[in-house]
């Protein structure tokens, strides 16, 4: 295990329980800092130049939701997370349009079984970098030989097993230890929040 500051806390919830996702993020961030034995200052959420929400301090977060699941990652470093419920779609056409040719070939050779894993890995990378899926999404590949890479452009990629029929990936600026944690009990009812632009 690396430095205690390399720990990323993950908080998973049923989307129907999430009334105010940013208030919930703040509560989870306080729980994460408490776990690290760091006295937190007051946290506020701002938006970066690309519109990505983040804290106004040296702690970072990223969110994802799909179908009935919601997940949040809290870290001392930039982080990106994506989850997707596996469903029917035109995987071949989506891969051809949005994925790198190496990824499309990999998926075609494997009957598109890892489609949502590749999608989540790619989206976690661009979210970690603070971009959107239309910013050069097809100009990089998360495939390394016969599998999804564990390292890309100095970042680390981690597959997530959150529930049956879900794919998930987390991307971190540094190698890290993942810690799944319970959402603080009073956080789901939390209603005060400050989000600035």
Question: 141-153: string of b/e by CB count within 10 Å (b at 16+)?
Answer: bbbeeeebbeebe
Rounded to whole angstroms, the Cα distance separating 127 from 79 reads 7
Is 2 contained in some domain? Answer: no
Rounded to whole angstroms, the Cα distance separating 99 from 107 reads 10
Look up the CATH number of the domain holding residue 30: 3.90.470.20
pTM for the model: 0.91
Q: What percent of the chain has pLDDT over 90?
A: 73
Rounded to whole angstroms, the Cα distance separating 113 from 27 reads 37
pLDDT of residue 193: 39
Is 50 contained in some domain? Answer: yes
Q: How big is the chain by its Cα radius of gyration, in Å?
A: 17
147: Cβ–Cβ under 8 A, 6 or more apart, which residues? none
Is 156 contained in some domain? Answer: yes
Alpha-carbon distances of 192 from 18, 43, 127, 197, rounded to whole Å: 14, 12, 26, 17
Q: Which residue has the higher pLDDT, 73 or 3?
A: 73
Is 170 contained in some domain? Answer: yes
pLDDT of residue 188: 56
Domain region containing 169: 7-189
pLDDT tens digit sequence for 81-129: 999 999 999 999 999 999 999 999 999 999 999 999 999 999 999 999 9
Is 1 contained in some domain? Answer: no
Is 46 contained in some domain? Answer: yes
pLDDT tens digit sequence for 161-192: 999 999 999 999 999 999 999 888 776 554 34
Domain count, the chain: 1
Contact 78, 174 (CB under 8 A): no
Residue among 86, 100, 75 at smallest CA distance from 155: 75
pLDDT tens digit sequence for 30-79: 999 999 999 888 899 999 888 889 998 889 999 999 999 999 999 999 99
Is 93 contained in some domain? Answer: yes
Backbone φ and ψ for 99, nearest 5 degrees, come out as: -100, 155
């Amino acid at each position: 295990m690396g430095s205690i500051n390399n720990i990323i806390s993950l908080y998973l919830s049923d989307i129907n329980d999430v009334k105010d996702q940013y208030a919930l993020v703040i509560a989870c961030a306080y729980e994460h800092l408490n776990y690290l034995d760091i006295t937190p200052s007051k946290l506020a959420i701002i938006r970066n130049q690309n519109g990505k929400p983040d804290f106004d301090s040296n702690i970072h977060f990223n969110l994802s939701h799909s179908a009935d699941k919601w997940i949040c990652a809290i870290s001392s470093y930039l982080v990106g997370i994506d989850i997707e419920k596996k469903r029917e779609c035109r995987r071949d056409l989506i891969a051809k349009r949005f994925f790198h040719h190496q990824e499309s070939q990999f998926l075609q050779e494997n009957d598109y079984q890892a489609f949502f894993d590749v999608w989540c890995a790619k989206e976690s990378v661009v979210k970690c970098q603070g971009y959107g899926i239309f910013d050069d999404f097809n100009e990089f590949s998360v495939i390394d030989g016969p599998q999804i890479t564990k390292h890309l452009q100095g970042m680390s990629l981690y597959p997530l097993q959150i529930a049956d029929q879900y794919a998930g990936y987390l991307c971190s600026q540094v190698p890290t230890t993942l810690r799944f944690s319970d959402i603080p009990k009073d956080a789901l009812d939390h209603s005060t929040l400050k989000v600035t632009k």
